[in-house]
Amino acid sequence: MKNLDQTVKSSKVFTLPLTAGVLILINAAGLAIVAKWFLGIMPVLPGSSGNDPMLFYTLCVVGLILGFLVLFASLMLRSKPANRKAWGTLIIVFSVPSVIMGGGFIVGFILGIVGGVKAIKWKT
């Protein structure tokens, strides 16, 4: 019974940051689509003279990198749970700055934080 409980708990710890990474990637891809084809519907960014597509593209690249890093850390959490504290810390570290580009519709940001904390506190 203990083995089954351990498997269920590890899948919950793994699923939250995995979902966060996917949401961050989808949010970044959506921002890229808007920056490429629908720039006119975006509100003007504060402090800018208009919507500069390069700023949106930069945010997209940052979002894609952060999403892939959260996804990678969650996959490594699943494959190497002995280093769960390091992977949980990386999940949190890469989820926090994702909020600058939308944070995976904010839900991805929250799931990344919660999943990272659960990974750090997870007892094997």
**pLDDT per residue as tens digits for the range 16-43:** 999 999 999 999 999 889 888 887 776 6
d(CA 94, CA 29): 17
Q: What is the pLDDT of residue 52?
A: 72
Q: Give the pLDDT score at 39.
A: 75
* Phi-psi group of 50: left, alpha or beta (phi > 0 → left; psi -120 to 50 → alpha; rest → beta): left
Which parts of 80-106 fold into alpha helices (H)?
84-95
For residue 8 the two structure tokens come to 């269920």
43-89 per-position pLDDT tens digit: 665 655 666 778 888 989 999 999 999 999 999 999 999 999 999 99
